[in-house]
A and B are shown apart, each in its own frame.
Chain A
Amino acid sequence: MQLLPAIGVIVVALSAAGLAPAAESVSKPHRIVSMNLCTDELVLRLADRRNISSVTWQARDRDNSNVADLARDVPINHGVAEEILPLNPDLVLAGIYTARAPVALLKRAGMRVVDTDVPRSFEDVRQQYREIAALLDEKERGEQIIAEMDSNLARLERDRPPVAPTAIVFHGDHYTYGRGSMIDVVMTRAGLENVAVRLGIGEFGQVPLEIMAMNPVDVLIIGSHRDGPALATELLRHPVLSRLSDHTRVVVIPNRLWNCGGPALVEAVERLMRVAKEVRGKVPNE
């Protein structure tokens, strides 16, 4: 499988006027604020608790966050500039898809805001952990997390089944993920063939139920939803999908495992690989 060339992590650092980046020991941030669930995870994994001023409210939500325990006693924000300004942070981490208005306001107020992109490969994840670890002056912890993730991935790599069962992710509102997405990388690592790629889906796209029904897969991957009903998630209970399951294995992968790039991706690979091995027996050998 061919990985897209690592797009890399866009890091735009703005220094407060007059404050040129000084030596690292001097510039180690002590009042870090994160405005995005994925940067919450980076900050909570990499920085010391005493240096974190605030993370988003989502970081404490066990269904969406991999680091809910670490976030338990960290003050929370809702990504609103008014909450963040009084904290007088010396570093604000945001995602490039975080609401732009408050981010722009914080930048105008002279804060040091760093935007992070979504990783699209394991190389992106490594690079992101290295860059943010450097920014937080926690390089060692960064390398440790990367090394652990890589050794787990290497262990799983040896286990990968030789024949790839077909699979597709189906999330609320018909969303699926194809070439160029982290989810596709995880599926391939787990020894699954992502049918969304064959259907011409790029990083993400919507697939009508009819197309799902006409392209039966060995493994149908859905997200977990415990948020009460909505049409978008009710869709996953449509009888056309449950009837498919005579031939199709339906697996739930919690969105938190692969929403953000990080060590949790290993668990996603592991869970999917287990399924891939189980259904492999039923896939006719070519």
Chain B
Amino acid sequence: MTRTDAVEATGRRYEIPYGSLVSGLGALVVALFVASLAIGYLPVDLWQGFGDALNGEWTAPALVLVELRVPRALLGTLVGFSLGLTGAAMQGLLRNPLAEPGIIGVSSTAALGAVVVFYFGLSGLFLLALPLGGVVGAMVATVLLYGLAGRGAGTMTLILAGVAINSFAGALTALALNLAPNPYAVSEIVYWLLGSLADRSLLSVWLVLPLMLIGWALILMSGPPLDALTLGEDTARSLGFNVGRLRLQLVAGTALSVGSAVAVTGSIGFVGLVVPHLLRPLVAQRPGRLLLVSGLGGAALMLAADISVRLLPVRPELKLGVVTAIIGAPFLFSLIYRLRAEE
């Protein structure tokens, strides 16, 4: 039995009807979204807050609900969806199980782009300057990596390129923060390297939404050609898919989704690695079907991680990347271990 057959067999064994999987994960996201609204630093009467907000009365519960908890839960959902989705997309595009925006350096270049725009006052120039800074940063890494991996680079090359990009972008981020005029900037490197959803406002939601939605659309539309690509580029071409356009679509979609996400929450690692891996067996290893479910799974993981940082008795609250790395890094290690065993 070849490896592909074995994979197919395990895939089939765990496969869940696609419709039920999507609705199940959707329900999980909704439940965690509500939990995220309900959990915070203080018990707040959500019904009262909701009612007051509808009546336009800005009482304390209404303020907490509308200005703090709703943006936080919305951003958790949006950013988690973006990271899960792009993880699945990059793994499909690069045909590499370890591709993930954080590991291969897309998130850190996005953070660099956002840092330069934000701390040097460029975000005031026009409305979408901040997310676009992130997108440009993400685009640089995505194009670089694709140039490398498109020539059939192995897992090792990809990861090492990620190490190089991550340390370079990290160093330039530190440099930019050191040169920034505000004395607080230097200490905020933690935020950009580890990410957080604390104290965001609805403004951040509106800021990221347009570019992010375009990115999602580009990636979600590439499901069928991505499935065909598993049969090899030639076969995909013979089936009538434009492989060049597919690549462009995924690269642009990834840069738009990750870039705008990182611009408002900092880089949060491992979501795009863990989620697609857990869900892949459930969709019979089909990369096209993995996209939407990974997005939903990413949103669920992000919301759960963000609830946990508020429940844990650590103040000021932990950065989200701390939680996702505690889950994700051992996961990465076990993946590398398994890949090594297979070689």
Contacts and interface: CB of A to CB of B under 8 A. Distances in A.
Decide whether A and B assemble into one complex: yes
Interface of A: 172-174, 206, 208-211, 213-216, 225, 227-233, 235, 238-240, 243-244, 246
B184 A238 contact: no
B184 A232 contact: yes
Given A215-B60, A243-B63, A246-B58, 5 more contacts: A174-B316, A213-B64, A231-B188, A231-B191, A232-B182
Nearest to B44: A214
B40 interface: yes
Q: Of residues A174, A230, A238, which shows the largest number of chain B Cβ atoms within 10 Å of its Cβ?
A: A230
B123 interface: yes
A229 B182 CA distance: 6
B202 interface: yes
Interface in B197-246: 198-199, 201-203
A8 B260 CA distance: 52
Contact of A210 (B68, B119, B191): B68
A232 B188 contact: yes
A213 B67 contact: yes
B121 interface: yes
Interface string B167-195: 00000000000001111110110010000
A246 B185 CA distance: 31
Contacts of B58: 243, 246
Contacts of B118: 229
A227 B182 contact: yes
B182 to A, nearest CB: 4
Nearest to B43: A214
Nearest to A210: B41
19 contacts: A172-B184, A206-B316, A209-B68, A210-B68, A213-B67, A214-B64, A216-B60, A229-B119, A229-B182, A232-B182, A233-B182, A238-B199, A238-B201, A239-B202, A239-B203, A240-B67, A243-B63, A243-B67, A246-B58
Given A230-B180, A232-B184, A239-B203, A214 B60 contact: yes
A229 B121 contact: yes
B38 to A, nearest CB: 13
Contacts of A228: 119-121, 180-182
Nearest to A232: B184
A172 B41 CA distance: 19
Contact of A239 (B67, B120, B180): B67
A237 to B, nearest CB: 9
Contacts, number: 81
A230 B64 contact: no
Interface string B34-52: 0000001110100000000
Looking at chain A's contact residues, the main secondary structure is helix
B338 interface: no
A215 B118 CA distance: 31
Contacts of A173: 184, 187
Contacts of A215: 60
A173 B199 CA distance: 10
A172 B199 CA distance: 12
B60 A213 contact: yes
B340 interface: no
Given A210-B64, A213-B64, A239 B41 contact: no
Nearest to A172: B184
Nearest to A64: B183
B315 interface: yes
Contacts of A174: 316
Contact of A240 (B44, B63, B187): B63
A216 B198 CA distance: 20
Contacts of A211: 41-42
Contacts of A209: 68, 199
Contacts of B188: 230-232
A211 B44 CA distance: 11
Contacts of A214: 42, 44, 60-61, 64
A206 B41 CA distance: 13
Contact of A213 (B63, B119, B182): B63
Nearest 8 CB-CB pairs, A to B? A230-B182, A232-B184, A228-B181, A240-B67, A230-B184, A227-B182, A210-B41, A213-B63
Contacts of B183: 227, 230
A208 B41 contact: yes
B46 to A, nearest CB: 13
B214 to A, nearest CB: 26
Contacts of B187: 173, 232
Contacts of A213: 60, 63-64, 67-68
Contact of B201 (A227, A229, A240, A246): A240
A214 B45 CA distance: 11
B68 A230 contact: no
Contacts of A238: 67, 199, 201
Given A174-B316, A240-B63, A240-B68, A227 B181 contact: yes
Contacts of B40: 210
B169 to A, nearest CB: 19
A227 B42 CA distance: 33
Nearest to A238: B201
A227 B202 CA distance: 25
Contacts of B61: 214
